[in-house]
Structure 1
């Protein structure tokens, strides 16, 4: 089954095996944060602790090239033909690496994976919501400077319970004016008002998560009418208790209501998932047929932040 994803945080995609190798390289003890093939955490705070500790093990341009290559190869082996990953220049700064070297390393990893496995990849530069708006403008200007041919989108992550998208509208305007695709996290931890806030102030074509829209029927109708694509991450949602289980998850209800939904892994090893596992969840838990899954891949490719020639080539693989 050809697969495509639009929502994965690159530092959160590092497998436990890769993190162990990086820890050995830099002489860091990570065993207390790793259990088999997943990271150890029990609430959002401990999740961030494990995430930040693992992310801190990627410190050079080559480290990031290896990270991107490893992740893309892993999902290519599950049938993926396309992936967009969220990247944050803030991680590069904390690692003592320039944002440009960070982007160049990730771009090299994408190139290697394409060469070896035929998978296409793109980068979405993100600002952080719980940082100040000035920092977001700096990140947007960096993204708009066209630091790499694979940088095709701009978005925002962080704690969506803090502030409003209105505070970051200028940053999104800078990115949009530069021709970058626009997405933002909304409707995951916070409810429908978070989604309306995003739609009103930054006019995204896609939403990271967006699943809490199900609580507002009028909003669901708006998303369907305006063809806003949702980057849905069922495994992540259940792991973080956004929903109590897959039987409560609104993926199928949103799809049946005409909302354009896609399947994504978010931070795969933290939630014991993968892109292939998300497709399996959609089939076994949500009752999607093979044709439904193929249509979901098509939706992702139609919404991808790529040039039209690349999009046509990807769609032809379906």
Structure 2
């Protein structure tokens, strides 16, 4: 029997950045509306050729991201982005989406971090109702800014705990700043009962993952894929139930691995780690949620059973309500039984 389409496999999406979720067509349309001149890398060379092997490469990536953010000018733009992200996930089999956003990056244009957070959460509620995809927000601090800014965002996230915000993260180039200096911000989020999900173990190796676990008390790791290089670390991750938000296509695009067959998903799975595949920034990497499953199936000859277990792990690692979890897990069982035939 032919392998089933991974787009029909129910799943959760735990690693998707706000601006990076934008459709390429939407970027072009909004830029044209306001006369914003986009670099060729976002127009004629899309998806752009990226590498984060050095600081210059990351700067280029960040510059493209900032340009994309600049096209969001109105409340309707924000609502459109959120709705389209939910629609894209629904088309890819997503039943739950945790979208990550740094409100400080949009505060100046939308009336401050609180007003922008209110707008995003309202957009999330509307998009969820329209698409049937359960949604929540992870507020993320930027590690290239001062740790005091991160505390402000952690307090903001804490205010919205149980009101649509489920987690607190730390993003941007993990080679920048001192991770331990953000511990106070993560302590604020931890006291509020939020899930803690800093980026770690992609651009830096296992040493940084140890730091994220020891000083930030990570529940999940944004990426975390390079934990595969340290068996002792991987044992700890498995023992403590820390989930890894692995984004294979972006790993290769940024030069972390030379090709998709080198992304060590089988090593992580064989060790017993919880792996939740994510799309990271589809606008810049050109691949959405189902694409991560399809590429890993092709690169590592994953069976339908293994794909179904990856989907289950994404659900178990999520902060989805129990009824949403149960519905998606039941759908995964149904997908698998259909793929196996009578």
TM-score by length of 2: 0.88
Match of 2:24 among 7, 13, 16: 16
Whether contact under 8 Å (1:61, 1:102) holds in the other structure is no
Matching of residue 30 in structure 1 with residue 44 in structure 2:
no
State the partner residue of 2:331: 317
Separation of aligned partners in 2, 1:316 and 1:246: 30
Deviation, structure 1 residue 194: 0.4
Whether contact under 8 Å (1:128, 1:158) holds in the other structure is yes
Partner of 2:218, secondary structure, is coil
Cα deviations by residue, 1:225-273 (Å, 9 ceiling, x for unpaired): 2121000000000000101111211111111111111110000121121
Separation of aligned partners in 1, 2:83 and 2:14: 17
Mean Cα deviation higher: 302-311 or 220-229? 302-311
Deviation, structure 1 residue 36: 5.6
Separation of aligned partners in 1, 2:139 and 2:206: 25
Whether contact under 8 Å (1:231, 1:263) holds in the other structure is yes
State the partner residue of 1:138: 152
Match of 2:67 among 29, 53, 58: 53
Deviation, structure 1 residue 147: 7.4
Separation of aligned partners in 1, 2:81 and 2:116: 11
Matching of residue 224 in structure 1 with residue 238 in structure 2:
yes
State the partner residue of 1:126: 140
State the partner residue of 1:240: 254
Cα deviations by residue, 1:126-169 (Å, 9 ceiling, x for unpaired): 01112111111011111111178221111111221133332111
Separation of aligned partners in 2, 1:197 and 1:31: 37
- Kindly report structure 1 stretches of 4+ aligned residues shifted beyond 6 Å: none
State the partner residue of 1:69: 83
Where does structure 2 lack aligned partners over 5 or more consecutive residues? Answer: 1-8, 51-56, 333-342
Seen in structure 2, the aligned counterparts of structure 1 residues 281 and 39 have a Cα distance that, compared at 3 Å, is closer
Partner of 1:241, secondary structure, is coil
State the partner residue of 1:297: 311
Where does structure 1 lack aligned partners over 5 or more consecutive residues? Answer: none
Separation of aligned partners in 1, 2:163 and 2:331: 23
Give matches, 1:68-87, under 5 Å. 68-87=82-101
Seen in structure 2, the aligned counterparts of structure 1 residues 28 and 163 have a Cα distance that, compared at 3 Å, is closer
Total equivalences in the alignment = 318
